[in-house]
Structure 1
Amino acid sequence: MMKISLGFDLHRLAHGRKLKICGIEIPFEKGLLGHSDGDVGLHALIDAILSAAGLPDIGTLFPDNDPKYKDIDSLILLKKTLELIQEKNLKVSQVDFTFICDAPKLSPYYEKMKKLLSKVLKLDISEIRIKARSTEGLGWGGEKDAIACFCLVVLEKN
C-alpha cells in the first residue's frame, strides 16, 4: 500500500538570517525568514509526510506562535514527524523536491542535501530527487526575495 502527497512551503529571504535548505547551510547574503529556521525544503517535506499519513499539517503540530519552536532546527521537526508515521507503521519510500528561486544557485548543494536526507529518512539516496527552477526574473522569485518548494512524498507500510 502506498500513500502519496504533495507539500508546499514559501519563505521570504531576509538579511541577518542563515540560509538552510534541506538541513544544509548554504552561503548567501540572506536567509529564510520564519519562526523556526525557515527551511522551505524540510517544511514542504514534513507537510507532505503528514498529509500522506492522514495527520494534521505542520502549522497545527508545530505552531508558529509556540515559543518552543522559535528558531528550532527543522531537522528536529522532521525527526518528530518520522516518529509519528512510525507509530502508524509507515515509512518514506520516495521524495521529490522542486525549489523555485532565482538565487542562490542550489545545484551545487544537491548531493550534500541528498546524503543528509538519506541518513535521516533511512532511505536509499537514489529515491531522493532534487531540482530547482528559476522564475526567469518574474514575480517574487525574480526579485530574489523568497524561495518556494514543492515536495512530493510516497509513504509505504513498514
Structure 2
Amino acid sequence: MIMRIGFGYDVHTFAPDRELWIGGVHIDHPLGLLGHSDADVLIHAICDALLGAAGLRDIGYHFPDTAGEYAGIDSKILLSRTMRLLRDAGYELGNIDATVVAEQPKLNPHIPDMQRTMADVMGVPTADISIKATTSERMGFVGRREGIAAYAVALIVPR
C-alpha cells in the first residue's frame, strides 16, 4: 500500500464584527478571524494538507478568494468538497494531526466538538483526527494576539 503525506498551514488575523469559527465549531470570543470565507484557520490548514497529500494543489486553487461564491462560505463545505476531491482521486484519509496556535481564546475545551464536527463532515472516525492547541509564549503575531495560526499533517491511503 502506498501512503502519502501532506502538510498544511494557515493563518488569519483577528477582526471585529466577525464570528470565530475553528474546526467547524463556533467559539464565543469578542473577535473573529478575517477572511474571504468564515476564516476557519484549522479547516483551511487541514484542506491544504489533504490536497497536498493527493497532489491536488491547494485550497486557493480549488476555492479562490477571488470567487464571489466563496464569500462568507462555511469552511465545513470546503472540507466536504475537499474530501470529495480526495476520494475522486482514489484516496481515503488515514489520519490527521493538527495544531492550532493561539494565545486567546483557550481552545482545549472545544477540541472534542471540533473532532466530532469534522469527522462527521469528512465521513471518518473521530479517532482519525488529532487536534492539539498551544500558544506561542507571547512571541510573534500570535503572541501579540493579532491572529491565529494552524498546522496540519494528513496521511492518505489508496481507496
If the length of structure 1 is used for normalisation, what is the TM-score?
0.97
Inter-partner Cα distance in structure 1 for 2:115 and 2:59:
22
**1:5-16 superposed matches below 5 A:** 5-16=6-17
Amino acid at match of 2:138: G
Aligned residues: 158
RMSD between superposed Cα atoms in Å: 0.9
**1:41-80 superposed matches below 5 A:** 41-80=42-81
Q: Could you tell me which residue of structure 2 aligns to residue 21 of structure 1?
A: 22
Contact 1:93 1:123 in 2 (8 A): no
Inter-partner Cα distance in structure 2 for 1:137 and 1:87:
42
Question: Structure 1, residues 51-77: CA drift from partner, whole Å, max 9, x if none?
Answer: 101112111111111111100001111
Alignment gaps of 5+ in structure 2? none
Alignment gaps of 5+ in structure 1? none
Inter-partner Cα distance in structure 2 for 1:112 and 1:85:
24
Amino acid at match of 2:149: A
Segments ≥4 residues shifted beyond 3 Å: none
Question: Structure 1, residues 119-151: CA drift from partner, whole Å, max 9, x if none?
Answer: 122222222111111111111112111000000
Inter-partner Cα distance in structure 2 for 1:73 and 1:26:
14
Q: Could you tell me which residue of structure 1 aligns to residue 149 of structure 2?
A: 148
Q: Could you tell me which residue of structure 1 aligns to residue 89 of structure 2?
A: 88
What is the percent sequence identity of the aligned residues? Answer: 39
